[in-house]
A and B are shown apart, each in its own frame.
Chain A
Amino acid sequence: MLKGLKLASILAVASLALAACGSSGEEATESVAPPEPTVAAVKVGMAYDQDGKGDGSFNDAAFAGLSKAQTDLGVEIKEVNSGASATDATREELLTLLADGGYNPVIAVGFAYSTALAAVAPKYPDTTFAIVDSVVDSANVGSLVFAAEQGSYLTGVIAATASKSGVIGFIGGMEIDLIKAFEAGYIEGARSVNPDIKIESKYMGAAGDNTAWNVPEKAKTATDGMIANGADVVYAAAGGSGLGMFQSVKAAADGGATVWAIGVDSDQYTVPSLAEYKDIILTSMLKRVDVAVFDVIKGVVDGAPLVGIQNFDLSKEGVGYSASNSAVSEFSGAADAAAEKIKSGEVTVGTTVQ
């Protein structure tokens, strides 16, 4: 009986394969190619990592750029995600499928795609690729990096100008160079206003600790501590953990204190899921992934692809600060002056904490 079952299990698997085969054979003829449009439309392929859209910040910003291109430039779009437990091999295959499918440009969202893109890009020299937040050295790849330190410098200026106590806080996500640049710019900007300002910094996780982006309770405790130490403006560059900072600041504000929170990446004042905190969100450091994505697509549409390292800085409006909350107008003069100095090269902002 055991033997029979063993045999059966083998045949079981084989039979599924055959079943799939059978159904494919008969139906393959059914699909008729749609009539080709007279002008070949640009087909944009976008690959998110893991589950992709719906994070309310980074991936959704990329999507915003994509949908803007769809509306404004009339491009066709195709979005894929690598799914849970993606490997470099499966990421590579996704990019290959997109490139094979005639998608051009192919945009990889997130540094997780670095290795995969480095392998795929040279095989498709006629396709333009782009990667967000990483650098891939290939002639047909646009590496979209952001001068987060410049945008953070402006929020530092705003924070120091708004602070009455002379103490401000910074909540970082994962302790990696990418986020340290936010901290460095923030500190430098704050010190440009008030050289004696005290800055409290805390990271939610060490490099490689992927939970760092998603521990709002930890961020809340950290912010509580900063506020207890006198901080009255706190800036978080911590992905989903940033919510904890908003909660903490909101609680302190409800308790009668004058405290502000500064958001990151998206204009968090206008994010619907954060609506209950909007009163305490003074501004947000904007990292315009949407602008970068749109520019890449536009480059291909215009026949002038963006390749090489594309540093989205203040002068390209790749970073900046949001003025959605009118409360910030009181401080925006200082911030705009600082922005002009950075654009003109009078001030260069470092990416490491001094």
Chain B
Amino acid sequence: MNLRRIGTSLIAPVIGLLFSLAITAIILVAINASVSTVLSSMWSYGTSPRAMSLMLNLATIYFLSALAVSIGFKMNLFNIGVNGQYVLGAVAAAVVASNLTLPKVASVTIAIFAAMITGALWAGIAAWLKVARGVSEVISTIMLNFIAIGIISYIIVRTGIGTETSLNVRGTKPIPESGMLRGSAFIDPGTSIYGFFFISIIIGIGYWFLLNRTRFGFDLRATGKSASAARTSGVQSNRMIYVTMFLSGAVAGLVGLPYLLGDTGTYSLQFPTDWGFTGIAIALLGRNNPLGIALGAILWAFLDISSGQLILEGVPREISTIMQGLIVIVVVISYEVVRRYQVKSEQTSVAKAMAKQEEVAAV
């Protein structure tokens, strides 16, 4: 790895981010907002202790979601079904935990397993459809999202599992305090950092280890790079599809838990249902690397949280959504541009070296 190559790798995201900032600035000027005021107020608010606590909590959710997506990406499987997997996982955890009166550790562990198993099984349907019927997982997972939402509405509205949690809102029975994982308020005295923040760090490390330090991880990456080559070297690709989707679904099952166990204690019909799509964008931004994903999740959460401050300044909160979209597109493009440049410069240098050798040989 030469210095020049490292340099060009760094240039890509930097250029990308500066470029997206520049476009955002143009948009801000176009809507008559002061660029400096918007950026400075986003920054000063975003770095206040309370906003940072909220940001880390939201980032925890996004991190898990992006991790789930990137497990699939590593094997060229596009799991768009994180939404469905996590809402079902969260409902399963909520139902199980609300019926338990166990010590915290036991109750939370059981809730986590309930969520992971539910998410894995739901994703497993897409894996089975792909292996047995050749259905693209893109289609099946997105369809399964709708089915999951329908099932949950039915369970909460029509069965005894749902109760009225507050005026006009229905949800699962509240989880007793012994089953919650509220975390502690160590940045801002009034805002807890979800207990799941730490669990998700462990999961991130586990992800890295599994993919980079195990035989399975090697097989998975190999299948992602070239399915036929992997098959030739003895990887059973059908089995890999199952295992990858199960894993992706199991992690996806956890996405709702930071919020469920750290905040609401009930899965109500107001529970957000589109964190899975955010995960796709962040997985792209983080290039499927756990550290990259973590930083991407924090950046995304920063933009989300600070948008609340923006509307107070009279700037539409959608500005931050635009920034998020721009960052993803521009960063992905600049990675590609730089990659092409690298390939080209590699070819030139190889050609030069060859020419030199020939010269030497000729002499």
Which residues does A use to contact B, with CB under 8 Å? 1, 3-17, 19-21, 23-28, 30-31, 78-81, 83-90, 93-94, 96-98, 101, 111-112, 114-115, 123, 133-135, 176-178, 206-210
Residues of B contacting A26 with CB < 8 Å? 36
B166 engages A13 (CB within 8 Å): no
B263 engages A177 (CB within 8 Å): no
In B305-343, the 8 Å CB interface with A consists of 305, 307-309, 311-312, 317, 327, 331, 335, 342
In B136-188, the 8 Å CB interface with A consists of 153, 156-158, 162, 164, 166-170
B312 engages A78 (CB within 8 Å): yes
Contact of B153 among A83, A177, A209 (CB under 8 A): A209
Alpha-carbon gap, A134 to B50, bound state (A): 27
Q: How far is the CB of A165 from chain B (nearest CB, A)?
A: 34
Contact of A7 among B9, B51, B312 (CB under 8 A): B9
Alpha-carbon gap, A69 to B335, bound state (A): 53
Residues of B contacting A28 with CB < 8 Å? 36, 40, 44
What residue in chain A is nearest B269 (Cβ atoms)?
Answer: A208
A83 engages B157 (CB within 8 Å): no
Residues of A contacting B311 with CB < 8 Å? 79-81
13 A-B residue pairings within 8 Å (CB atoms): A1-B1, A6-B289, A8-B12, A13-B13, A15-B18, A28-B36, A28-B40, A31-B34, A93-B51, A176-B168, A178-B167, A208-B153, A208-B156
Stretch at the interface among B108-116, B238-246, B292-300, B347-355: B292-300
B37 in the interface, Cβ–Cβ < 8 Å?
yes
B1 engages A210 (CB within 8 Å): no
B286 in the interface, Cβ–Cβ < 8 Å?
yes
Stretch at the interface among B89-97, B123-131, B199-207, B271-279: B271-279
Contact of B274 among A5, A84, A96, A115 (CB under 8 A): A84
Q: How far is the CB of B230 from chain A (nearest CB, A)?
A: 17
Q: How far is the CB of A243 from chain B (nearest CB, A)?
A: 22
Residues of A contacting B269 with CB < 8 Å? 208, 210
Q: How far is the CB of A303 from chain B (nearest CB, A)?
A: 25
Alpha-carbon gap, A208 to B40, bound state (A): 41
Contact of B169 among A19, A87, A98, A111 (CB under 8 A): A111
Q: How far is the CB of B295 from chain A (nearest CB, A)?
A: 4
Contact of B39 among A3, A8, A23, A176 (CB under 8 A): A23
Residues of A contacting B299 with CB < 8 Å? 13, 16-17
Alpha-carbon gap, A94 to B317, bound state (A): 12
B104 in the interface, Cβ–Cβ < 8 Å?
no
A90-B308, A97-B308 as given contacts; A16 in contact with B153, CB under 8 Å = no
B168 engages A178 (CB within 8 Å): yes
Residues of B contacting A81 with CB < 8 Å? 311, 317
Q: How far is the CB of B79 from chain A (nearest CB, A)?
A: 19
Residues of B contacting A87 with CB < 8 Å? 259, 263, 272
Q: How far is the CB of B355 from chain A (nearest CB, A)?
A: 24
A112 engages B270 (CB within 8 Å): yes
B156 engages A5 (CB within 8 Å): no
A97-B309, A208-B162 as given contacts; A114 in contact with B17, CB under 8 Å = no
B218 in the interface, Cβ–Cβ < 8 Å?
no
What residue in chain B is nearest A118 (Cβ atoms)?
Answer: B166
Alpha-carbon gap, A162 to B305, bound state (A): 53
